[in-house]
């Protein structure tokens, strides 16, 4: 089985046809390897934009791609995609995080009217795998590719970061360092209907108390020092989509603010609890101990 690591660059452009912003793909970069991580082939193609006629300054600064280069390449999305399909063949497709695959789905929908990537049979989120292997458990903060490379002492010298093909090569180096044939299978997903439902699921924050998915029994805060349930000293209020109240731990003789956020994810409702320390004499706040659990 071969692996294809794909990285895309895109430009946010307003489509009058769709009456919304579309992340229009401007570059495909990919590396193909065998299971021993020998590079078999690479893929690098620019796409001439059809929606946004000018690159956002942030995109051109980051990628160093110029609008002129894109128009000179004279490749439609459909053309590049058909080349990429041949390149992918029956390999496992991998991307760092889900934004690239979601952007590919978005572009296929826009240009071809297809909801699914019919050419993809199996997919793996490389970021999720690397986070798992590195023991990165804080789900509220995703690990960036360069952070991962840094942790693995992978040098980025000689690579042009934020260019599709080099980002794909860097992802590959991280993958190679962390690859373990015994647990990779758990992260390889079959691209069936459930896969699309899951990957396109929009997480939402629940903050309407009348919502039956908010379980009233979850309204408690434990002291982050001793673990005991803290005593509530004020009413719960809802602010910035989280519920907040003042608490006191009788044992530690500490006062703090407790914050609870309910999120509806594909897997169910999660509850995040935070203890916000009161810093004496200042208004400074620092969030502590983010404890996340799945409740439904």
Please state, in angstroms and rounded to a whole number, the distance separating the CA atoms of residues 126 and 94: 6
> Which one of the spans 104-112, 195-203, 247-255, 271-279 is the region binding Zn ion (CB under 5 A)?
247-255
Beta carbon of residue 235, minimum distance to Zn ion (angstroms, whole number) = 22
Closest CA to 274 of 264, 262, 260: 260
- Closer of 149 and 249 to Zn ion (Cβ): 249
Structure-block tokens of residue 61: 């600064």
Exposure string of 113-125, with b = 16+ CB inside 10 Å and e = fewer, is eeeebebbebbbb
- Closer of 238 and 250 to Zn ion (Cβ): 250
Residue 186 CB-density burial (10 A; 0-12 exposed, 13-18 middle, 19+ buried): exposed
Q: Is 58 in the site for Zn ion (CB under 5 A)?
A: no
- Closer of 85 and 251 to Zn ion (Cβ): 251
Find where tokens 């590919």 sit.
104
Beta carbon of residue 226, minimum distance to Zn ion (angstroms, whole number) = 3
- In the shown chain, the binding pattern of residues 223 to 242 toward Zn ion, with x for contact by CB under 5 A and - for none, equals x-xx----------------
Ordered alpha helix ranges (H), 136-262: 145-151, 164-178, 193-199
Applying CB under 5 A, the site for Zn ion has a residue count of: 6
Q: Please report, to the nearest 10 degrees, the dihedral formed by the alpha carbons of residues 112, 8, 105, 148 taken in order.
A: 170
> Which one of the spans 82-90, 154-162, 252-260, 278-286 is the region binding Zn ion (CB under 5 A)?
252-260
> Which one of the spans 3-11, 101-109, 245-253, 257-265 is the region binding Zn ion (CB under 5 A)?
245-253
Q: Is 252 in the site for Zn ion (CB under 5 A)?
A: yes
- Closer of 64 and 288 to Zn ion (Cβ): 288
Closest CA to 83 of 130, 39, 30, 127: 30
- Closer of 189 and 255 to Zn ion (Cβ): 255
Q: Is 251 in the site for Zn ion (CB under 5 A)?
A: yes
Please state, in angstroms and rounded to a whole number, the distance separating the CA atoms of residues 193 and 235: 44
Q: Is 221 in the site for Zn ion (CB under 5 A)?
A: no
> Which one of the spans 42-50, 111-119, 201-209, 215-223 is the region binding Zn ion (CB under 5 A)?
215-223
- Closer of 18 and 226 to Zn ion (Cβ): 226
Alpha-carbon dihedral sign for residues 208, 210, 212, 215: positive
Do the beta carbons of residue 32 and residue 2 sit within 8 Å? yes
- Closer of 51 and 223 to Zn ion (Cβ): 223
Q: Which of 4, 249, 264, 269 binds Zn ion (CB under 5 A)?
A: 249
Binding site for Zn ion (CB under 5 A): 223, 225-226, 249, 251-252
């Amino acid at each position: 089985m071969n692996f294809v690591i794909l990285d895309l660059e895109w430009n946010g452009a307003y489509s009058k046809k769709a009456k919304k912003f579309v992340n229009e793909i401007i570059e495909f970069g990919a590396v193909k390897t065998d299971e021993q991580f020998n590079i078999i082939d690479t893929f690098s193609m620019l796409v001439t934009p059809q929606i946004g006629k000018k690159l956002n300054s942030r995109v051109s600064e980051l990628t160093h791609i110029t609008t002129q280069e894109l128009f000179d390449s004279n490749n439609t999305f459909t053309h590049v995609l058909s080349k990429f399909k041949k390149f992918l063949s029956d390999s496992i497709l991998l991307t760092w995080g889900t934004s690239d695959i979601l952007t590919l789905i978005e572009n296929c929908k826009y240009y071809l009217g297809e909801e699914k990537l019919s050419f993809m049979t199996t997919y793996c989120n490389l970021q999720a795998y690397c986070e798992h292997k590195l023991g990165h458990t804080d789900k509220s903060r995703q690990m960036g590719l360069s952070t991962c490379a840094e942790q693995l002492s992978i040098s980025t010298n000689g690579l042009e970061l934020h260019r599709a093909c080099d980002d794909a090569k860097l992802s590959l180096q991280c993958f190679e360092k962390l690859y373990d044939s015994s647990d990779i299978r758990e992260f390889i997903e079959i691209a069936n209907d459930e896969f699309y439902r899951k990957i396109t699921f929009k997480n939402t924050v629940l903050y309407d108390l009348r919502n039956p998915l908010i379980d009233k029994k979850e309204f408690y805060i434990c002291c982050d020092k001793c673990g005991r349930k803290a005593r509530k000293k004020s009413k719960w209020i809802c602010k910035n989509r989280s519920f907040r109240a003042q608490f006191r731990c009788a044992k530690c003789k500490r006062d703090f603010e407790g914050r609870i956020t309910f999120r509806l994810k594909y897997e169910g409702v999660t509850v995040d609890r935070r203890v916000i320390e009161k810093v004496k004499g200042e208004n400074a706040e620092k969030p502590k101990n983010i404890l996340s659990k799945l409740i439904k």
